[in-house]
Amino acid sequence: MREIKFDAIYKPTGEHFTPISINFNDKSVVGNFDGEQGDWCHFSLDGKYGDVILRQYTGLKDKNGKEIYEGDILKAISYAGYETKNEVTFLNGCYMFGNWNAHEFFNRHQYIEVIGDIYENPELINHEK
């Protein structure tokens, strides 16, 4: 069973923090960020609203053991040596990497590494080489 947890990015400073409490009804999050303990603000899942971007853990880790979250940009090299960069998205109840189901994608690639996220490093996506 996949562990359910979230990463939050405080947009004004780019600081990542683990939420203490998330209220999905009023879209607010409580956490320790911006030098404050137990501070709160509004969040969005797409970065268009509020001061926090909320990202869910996929249950997967990259080659270095780093947890992979929705919105992360991955660099992957297939067993045939083909390289691609793309973001992790959530579509129809499934984590996706480009057009691939993320779990299937992991089974077909030998090297997968988190190299950034779409909120802080959108320039990293050049899709396929």
pLDDT grade for 81, boundaries at 50, 70 and 90: confident
Question: What count of other Cβ atoms lies within 10 Å of the Cβ of residue 44?
Answer: 14
pLDDT grade for 126, boundaries at 50, 70 and 90: low
| Distance, C-alpha 59 to centroid of its chain | 11
Whether the CB-CB separation of 8 and 19 falls below 8 Å is answered with yes
Supply the DSSP string of 51-68, one letter for each residue.
SEEEEEEEEEE-TTS-EE
Statement: residue 80 has pLDDT above 50: yes
pLDDT tens, 11-43? Answer: 999 999 999 999 999 999 999 999 999 999 999
Averaged confidence pLDDT in the chain: 89
| Distance, C-alpha 46 to centroid of its chain | 11
Q: Which residues partner with 38 through β-bridges?
A: none
Mean pLDDT confidence for 105-127 = 84
